[in-house]
Structure 1
Amino acid sequence: MLTASFVAISAIAAAGAAQAEFELSVYSGWQTSPHSTVKGDDPSGVGDFDFTAGWEGKSGSMPPYWGVRGIWWQSDVLGYGLDYSHNKVYADKDTLKDNDFETLEFTDGLNIITANVFRRFPGVTRDWTPYIGGGLGISVPHVEVETTGKRTFEYQYGGPAVQWVAGVSYPISENWKVFGEYKGTYSQNKVDLDGGGELETNIVTNALNIGVSFDF
């Protein structure tokens, strides 16, 4: 997953390096997720289910929450790029206990890949540059589900995803910047369970990120 993301970002860099500024960023931070409805069927275990799951992000636990992003700036204000984020959600203890699930999580991770448009606002302040962005893409979660039946433990295509971001960057040298931002994602995740069942949930994540960027 990570290799494919870097290959795609590098391809954008190669195509645009001769014509425009290319910015490569890495980030991490604190990521959470509000409750969402989980429904489906598990014929080898709990049968049909439909409940509201409480999610925990556990951003700093292994594997941690993080992301990488490449932006090809066409001008001082407009850019296009790709973003990969390794989001995570764990069902809390009450959710597991109340619904006879031993494990319900997307922790390696709830991987979101999006193609994005960015707008920055140079000159608003002397040194700080605000920016906003958004994009469309896909969710590729690592599905970890275990009930009284079989265990599902694999990467799957979940469904479509969107992201939105707003932040501010600060230059620390000619080519390097640091930044802080809020980033949100929404993804539809419909996955198969071992034993012939399926599980469906739409997940929102909210994150406060810090990161560093290098301009080519």
Structure 2
Amino acid sequence: MRKISSLLAAFALAIASQPAAAEMELSIYGGSQSSPHSRVSGAFPGTGAKYNALIGWEGKSLSSPPYYGARATWWRRPDLGYGIELTHAKVYAPAAERTPIGFNRMEFSDGHNILTFNVMKRWNNRFGPFTPYVGAGVGIALPHVDVTSANGFKSFGYQVTGPAARLTAGAKYDLSDSWAVFGEYQFTYSSNKAKLPAGGSLNTNIITNAINVGVSFSF
């Protein structure tokens, strides 16, 4: 985790050392998020027995707490910006797939939080009120680990579980000089190593695919 912290600190220092921003853009969004299958492995709480299974994660974007995200972008040039983004994604392991390996509950549902520092590129004044953009970021995963084993051990809390990355592509539509709406596709990847009680562990790589819609305010 020291390497991750150093990387985040380097990104923060790079942003802070830039000249004053020409434009600040704040964005919030919701949408539909899914997650493909991934393999889950680790040590079973209380026994240390190894487990390994392929889980077909469910996203449940609109169930409480809903899927959402927010980002701040400092546009240092008209076409290039830096920023920070937090996405509150979610993944749930279906009962039919977690029960055979001994878990009554296995989910990152409040949520599978992805925090990244981003570099953003946009194309202004080429498509009328529409502005296409792309972005990429690196950071960390901070999921709320909600796992209960069949023998009664429970994990319920936030953990820093590993590195994460994101890719974004979309377009915004200007409503005024300050306000805009946008739609985008977003991909995230995270490598997670979560601690479970009584010597247990849970390791999995989580991918999310999302279609986002949102609103932004610039000043």
TM-score (ref. length: structure 2): 0.89
1:139 aligns with 141
Picking from 187, 198, 201, the partner of 1:198 is: 201
* Matching of residue 161 in structure 1 with residue 164 in structure 2: yes
Runs of 4 or more consecutive aligned structure 1 residues displaced over 6 Å after TM superposition: 13-17
Native 8 Å contact 2:21 2:74 kept in 1: no
Deviation, 1:96, is: 2.0
CA distance in 2: counterparts of 1:14 and 1:44, whole angstroms:
46
CA contact (8 A) 1:45 1:148 kept: no
Letter in 2 for 1:183: Q
| Alignment partners' CA distance in 2, 1:162 and 1:15 | 23
Residues 102 and 210 of structure 1, relative CA distance in 2, 3 Å threshold? same
Equivalent residue for 1:40, pick from 39, 42, 45: 42
How far did 1:98 drift?
A: 2.6
How many pairs does the alignment contain?
A: 205
Deviates more, 1:105-114 or 1:95-104: 95-104
Structure 1 residues 210, 43: CA separation in 2 closer, same or farther (over 3 Å shift)?
closer
**Alignment RMSD, CA only?**
2.0
8 Å Cα contact 2:21/2:75 also seen in 1: no
**Seq. identity, %:** 49
Aligned partner of 1:84 among 62, 70, 86 = 86
Q: Provide the secondary structure at the position in 2 that maps to 1:74.
A: strand
Matched-pair contact (CA < 8 Å) for 1:179–1:210 = yes
Query: Which residue of structure 2 lines up, in the alignment, with residue 9 of structure 1?
Result: none
Give the aligned partner of residue 215 of structure 1. 218
Which of 177, 182, 202 pairs up with 1:179? 182
- 1:11-53 Cα distance to aligned partner (Å, 9 max, x none): xx99989541000000000000000000001142683101101
Secondary structure in 1 aligned to 2:103? coil
In the alignment, is residue 55 of structure 1 matched against residue 53 of structure 2?
no
What code does the residue aligned with 1:204 have? Answer: I
Q: How does 1:64-103 map to 2 (within 5 A)?
A: 64-103=66-105
Local SS of the residue matching 1:165: strand
Q: CA deviation at 1:97?
A: 2.8
Q: Which residue identity does 1:197 align to in structure 2? A: G
> Could you tell me which amino acid in structure 1 is paired with residue 76 of structure 2?
Q
How far is the alpha carbon of 1:148 from its aligned partner? 1.5
For the residue of structure 2 that corresponds to 1:95, the secondary structure is: helix
C-alpha separation between the residues in 2 aligned to 1:80 and 1:168?
17
What CA distance in whole angstroms lies between the structure 1 residues aligned with 2:143 and 2:21?
A: 35
Check conservation: 2:113, 2:142, Cα contact below 8 A. Answer: yes
Asked if structure 2 preserves the Cα contact closer than 8 Å seen for 1:110 and 1:141, the reply is: yes
Using the alignment, how far apart are the partners of 1:79 and 1:199 within structure 2?
Answer: 36
Match of 2:11 in 1: none
Structure 2: 5+ residue runs without aligned partners?
1-14
2:10 aligned residue = none
| Cα shift at 1:75 | 1.3
1:127 CA displacement: 1.4
Measure the CA separation in 2 of the matches of 1:203 and 1:193: 18
- Judged with a 3 Å threshold, the aligned counterparts in structure 2 of structure 1 residues 15 and 27 are, in CA distance, closer, same or farther, namely farther
Q: TM-score, normalised by structure 1?
A: 0.90
